[in-house]
Amino acid sequence: MSSWWRPFAAMVWKDVTVELRTGQRVAAMGGFAVLAGILFNYALAPTGARPQDLASTLIWITIVFAGTLGIGRTFELEEENGAFAGVLLAPVARDALYLAKVVSNLLLVLVTLVLLVFAFTLFFGLDLGRSPLMFWSSLTLGAIGFVGTGTLFAAVTVRSSMGATLLPVLLFPVLVPVIVFGATSTSRLLAGLGADQVAGPLRLLAAYALVALGSGAVLFRFAVDDG
């Protein structure tokens, strides 16, 4: 089992270390998320709509856009230097590589989510409702599904001449369930409804996450191995 876990852990550690040293993706995603909050404020002002009423929608849209920005660069650094070819030469299970990339991307998205929710709380006086734990469970489950599909598609688009511009075209149609069930559960929680009101959408978010991770773990080797 250590032949699976060791490369998995090494890959996560490597990605986290690179991110801690450069801080590029966190800065881009976090900056994007906070700036989106500012732009939403001014864009909504003329309509008379209160941002706190639309908070759930704004959070999900912002995290999908910010996340796509960061996930699109999952393999770019390694592809630029041909380093990923070296990783692939090692006798490492491809699902371990995929899940390692998912974990490092998930950490990145969760950090961005913390920044985003903090900024929205500060800007719009967001109240996390009666069940902050359920609120974060919903965001985390949605993030797992999002990152699961996004990481697989990032491996697809890195080979494309369209690059990261292709990622949203592939990703957004299949992310509709995440947006629907995620926005439903968080809007109910922010409206002060109890945890029993969100059990259905949370189960469906978990189902999406399982499908995303399962299909990604199986299909990833076809995306990265040649021949």
Apex CA 147: angle with CA 196 and CA 124, to 5°? Answer: 60
- 222 makes contact with another protein (CB under 8 A): yes
Among residues 30 and 145, whose Cβ is nearest to another protein? 145
- 203 makes contact with another protein (CB under 8 A): no
How near is the Cβ of 108 to another protein at its closest, in Å? 21
Instruction: State CA 23 to chain mean position distance.
Output: 17
Residue with tokens 């006086």: 125
Stretch that binds another protein, among 19-27, 66-74, 113-121, 219-227 (CB under 8 A): 219-227
Residue 142 CA to residue 125 CA, distance in Å, equals: 23
- 191 makes contact with another protein (CB under 8 A): no
- 169 makes contact with another protein (CB under 8 A): yes
Residue 18 CA to residue 25 CA, distance in Å, equals: 10
Q: Assign residue 157 a region: left if phi > 0, alpha if psi is -120 to 50, beta otherwise?
A: alpha
**Considering only residues 174, 193, 195, 206, which one is a binding residue for another protein as defined by CB under 8 A?**
174
List alpha helices for 72-131, DSSP H: 76-80, 83-89, 94-124
Q: What tokens does 177 get?
A: 């369930």
Site string for another protein, 40-79 (x = CB under 8 A): ----------------------------------------
Give residues in contact with another protein (CB under 8 A).
Answer: 149, 152-153, 156-157, 159-162, 166, 169-170, 172-174, 176-177, 180-181, 184, 204, 207-208, 211, 215, 219, 222-223, 226-227
